[in-house]
Structure 1
Amino acid sequence: MNHVRPWTQRPPEVAALLNPAYCALLLRAAVDGYVKEAEAPFPFPLLPFPLPLSLHAPTRSSLPKTVRTKMHVWVQEHPEAKILFATRARTLTPYFREGLIFAMAQEILAVDANGGIAQGAKKLRRPPVLKGGDAEAGLEAALFVGRWLARAGDLRSVFIAWGVRP
């Protein structure tokens, strides 16, 4: 099981990029994209997908430019994105959990009556510190991933395409 190091033991780059507030913003961006595209809550089993897809720079930069690109076709055409996806997802799990707990506690995300993930009560503005660079690119990618997941088909198809299990 992966454990998160205490803040004092984290390298500054890891602490900055994988801090709970930023991970919460990435999750919220993905939920915003999904809700906009599907007009439905984000399925909880898909919630771990946005971080490994939006934080990994080579994957992020190779994502399609439009959500009309079928996810399963893109994954087949980009095997390099799929090869270490499961490893990245597993490695990011503790940070995902921290971000999700932060998002729920700060009302950035909420769980609806059916167990779906919805936008929380808190209205968000993009912090000025995130303008430009990797931080903003990650947010834009997370929004795209949310929209893309909304069009990707059923949950089983998404998991099969990426070679992972819930």
Structure 2
Amino acid sequence: MREAPDGGARYERKMRFLDAFARQLTRSRRDARARGRELLLMGDLNIAHTRHDVRNWRRSNQVEGHLPEEREWFGSILSPRTLVDVVRSRFPDTDGPYSWWSWLGESFTNDVGWRIDYHLATPALARAAVAAGTDRDPAADRRISDHAPVVVDYAL
């Protein structure tokens, strides 16, 4: 995947973006702390961080979105003192809960997915999470997206 028809230029742009994004996250987190606030980043980061975030993780180690350098980058923005992956903190050794499934085959029905949508929170906010998961409608015929919303309840 890194050597796409463009010679890997798109992938290199992605990695440069991630480096700049990490710097912006650090600035935003520090600014929030200086103001006495918490920070929450929610969204589709298109990276499955751990082996528990991809159903077929061995095969996916060669696929963009789960490449070693992407997972390393993801790990670099997380720590117990900076940002916490809220859903993974609630399910530390569990596969999933997945938030994306291919439209091909029976991926959704068989829950062969990736966890690429996140709630990343500052530690105090992460500790306030009382429930977390994906809002996965089991009726595959009613799906309007290849993603399911990640939902976290915070006791604030």
Q: Is TM (by shorter chain) over 0.5?
A: no
Q: Structure 1 length normalisation: TM-score?
A: 0.25
Considering fraction of residues, name the structure with more strand.
Answer: 2
- Choose 1 or 2 for highest CA Rg: 2
Q: Structure 2 length normalisation: TM-score?
A: 0.26
